[in-house]
Chain A
Amino acid sequence: MATTSAPTTAVPVSDVFTRQPESLWRQAIRAFFRQRSAVLGLTIIVLLVLVSIFAPLLAPYDPEQVLIGIENVQKRSVPCIHLFGCPADQPQHIMGTDGNNRDELSRIIYGARISLYVGFLTVGFAILIGVLLGAIAGYIGGWIDNVLMRILDVLLAFPALLLAIAIVSVLGPGLINAMLAIAIVSIPAYARVMRASVLSVKQEEYVQAARVVGASPIAILFQHVMPNALSPLIVQGTLGIGTAILETAALSFLGLGAQPPTPEWGSMLSAERNQLFSAPHLVFFPGLAIMINVLGFNLLGDGLRDALDPRLRR
């Protein structure tokens, strides 16, 4: 704490007492940037966001363009980088070409868009529903709380990916349905966080006071409960984005998520997995991209948890 390790040089007494204390958010931001791994996570995500925004400028080819007849390349050709001695008369493909003669690098670059879109949308939806359910359960309590929580317990009784597979099979394969399935599977986690926060502040005197002066439940929820629930939700959500990306990629890998020719990393990997022994680069790069992306969110989530929880700050 800054106040306990006061500098030895003389500080005017009046200054110590009148100075505004640093806000909790400012402290959290400072604590966040002190962690190298968190900064690394943030950097990865910022880079990925930039890559997805500027994908048309960065990608050397259209991700869905088949290069037969346009260039003299074989399908599944190994990476060709001019800088590293690839003959100049051959077209440059930094990550090689895939089984349909498309530039792998361009597909990986565009894949970042889909990956981030999947992560944010899925978790956004799950948080929305989860917060609503958790708030209702925690605030109203009684049998409604009991019923809601038992339903969520049933959802948690299934291994997440298996439940998601079952949901997709009901909805039909496709990226949107896969995202919906992953969102449904992750609702219980957010509902529980929200419910716990509601329960922890419900009996506080300032909430009782607000109720006495006639504040509506909605107002109490937004003014008193949400600020308390915000930091665990941010942490859970950030880590959840990583999980959502990983699980959606897994569904795509099983053929239940994004369908060809969408440049989605999981389905790109799946399409070439039988060529593992002849063209390993087509399995290696999409998987590496998924890993880096998920790693970014995991590092950021861990960093946020340490920064937002004053007890964990050191």
Chain B
Amino acid sequence: MLQYIGRRILTAIPVLIGVMLVTFAMARMIPGGPCVAMLGEKARPETCARFNAEKGFDRPIPVQLAVYIRDVATGDLGTSIRFQRAVTQIIIERLPLTMELGIVALIIATIIGVPAGIISAIRRNSAIDVGTMVGANVGVSMPVFWLGLMLAYIFAIQLKGTPFQLPPSGRLSAGVTSTPFFEVYGWSATKGTLLYSMYQFIANFYLLNSLITGQWSVFRDALTHLLLPSVALATIPMSIIARMTRASMLDVLGRDYVRTARAKGLTNVKVIMAHAFKNALLPIVTIIGLQLGSVFSGAVLTETIFGLAGVGRMLYEGITARDYPVIQGFTLVIAFGYVAVNLVVDLSYAFFDPRIRLE
């Protein structure tokens, strides 16, 4: 198993290097250059020369690349031109929101998608099956941005004043603040240190932070704010998970060992859960893992609609403002995360199915 993990990690390295090169090149190919983007179309050449010299954009490309790789290796992703702040600091503030949104969305997608798929497979060609599959087909065909806006319209306007009213934007209601756990518990850390950054990063997961400190009103507020965006984000993964679960279960339900289990006189539930579902799990786990990529894509749209300052929104703004360090840093983090997830999916595959690691 260890050997397999090692081999699999080694094959991920060229991809990661490629990702770094592509990000670096792409940021430099954006027309206009950072000077024009930051200082406007009418920026004087001498001003631009000074700006470029200050930021290192006047150096030869290979030198810029070498500096970039050295910085990345030491965990320095540069300083945002627009905000004049360290990119890592912005990531610490924004990544938790996107991760929280993505995780909640995937949880919703899984807890609805998997049972729906199982029931569909067991009751094949019944009304429930047809209904679920029609729903799944509609789900994958729906534009995320449209669904998000429609949900906002229904839950923020039509249901206003009812218990089902949900906020259409933001992370917390006005006046509600989430006190970081390290302040609540009086753990001290010096600003600027790695420990402090880690504390901050964890504290920016509002749901987690309020949960471990018992700030229940903050937890409820954060959850209600997260509900609409994560439902919007969950529809496509949910539909795909339901379809995959159904297909995988149908495949397994026809196998000899399932028939044997039934012949032994096991209860239906036991046959389905212990014999069929356990064996159908592999492709389901894979597809859930792979959905994380679509969640990141969808996050750009969901965050735009629901006014959330997450990674997707930040990257989009960075691109339109030609904020090179932000584009590079955020793309890198997202792509690394994506590659890491694929790696974990592959490894889990090998964990569940010994045949793969023995190949």
Most chain A CB atoms below 10 A, which of B22, B305, B312, B322 = B22
Instruction: Judge if B31 is at the interface, Cβ distance under 8 Å.
Output: yes
Instruction: Judge if A144 is at the interface, Cβ distance under 8 Å.
Output: no
Instruction: Judge if B214 is at the interface, Cβ distance under 8 Å.
Output: no
Contact of A159 (CB < 8 Å), options: B149, B153, B296, B322: B296
Contact code string A44-85 (vs B, CB < 8 Å = 1, else 0) = 000000000000000000000000000000000000000000
Instruction: Judge if A132 is at the interface, Cβ distance under 8 Å.
Output: no
Contact A276 B316 (CB under 8 A): no
> Which of chain A's residues have a CB closer than 8 A to the CB of B15?
150, 153-154, 157
Cβ of A251 to closest chain B Cβ, rounded Å: 10
CA–CA, A253 and B143, complex, Å: 10
Given the known A-B contacts A159-B293, A250-B145, A276-B153, are A298 and B140 also in contact in the complex, defined by CB atoms under 8 Å? Answer: yes
Instruction: Judge if A269 is at the interface, Cβ distance under 8 Å.
Output: yes
**A250-299 contacts to B (CB < 8 Å):** 250, 253-254, 266, 269-270, 273, 276-277, 280, 283-284, 286-288, 290-292, 294-295, 298-299
Cβ of A280 to closest chain B Cβ, rounded Å: 5
**B274-308 contacts to A (CB < 8 Å):** 293-294, 296-298, 300-301, 304-305
Cβ of A262 to closest chain B Cβ, rounded Å: 17
> Which of chain A's residues have a CB closer than 8 A to the CB of B22?
154, 158
Q: Which residue of B lies closest to A160 (CB)?
A: B297
**A220-268 contacts to B (CB < 8 Å):** 242, 246, 249-250, 253-254, 266
| Contact-residue size bin, chain A (C-beta under 8 Å from the other chain) | 35 or more
Instruction: Judge if A219 is at the interface, Cβ distance under 8 Å.
Output: no
Given the known A-B contacts A162-B296, A162-B315, A170-B30, are A157 and B141 also in contact in the complex, defined by CB atoms under 8 Å? Answer: no
> Which of chain A's residues have a CB closer than 8 A to the CB of B157?
277
Query: Can you pick out 11 interface pairs between chain A and chain B where the beta carbons lie within 8 Å of each other?
Result: A154-B18, A158-B19, A158-B335, A161-B297, A162-B297, A169-B322, A269-B143, A269-B145, A273-B145, A283-B146, A287-B143
Interfacial residues, chain A to chain B (CB-CB below 8 A): 37, 150-151, 153-154, 157-162, 165-167, 169-170, 172, 242, 246, 249-250, 253-254, 266, 269-270, 273, 276-277, 280, 283-284, 286-288, 290-292, 294-295, 298-299, 302
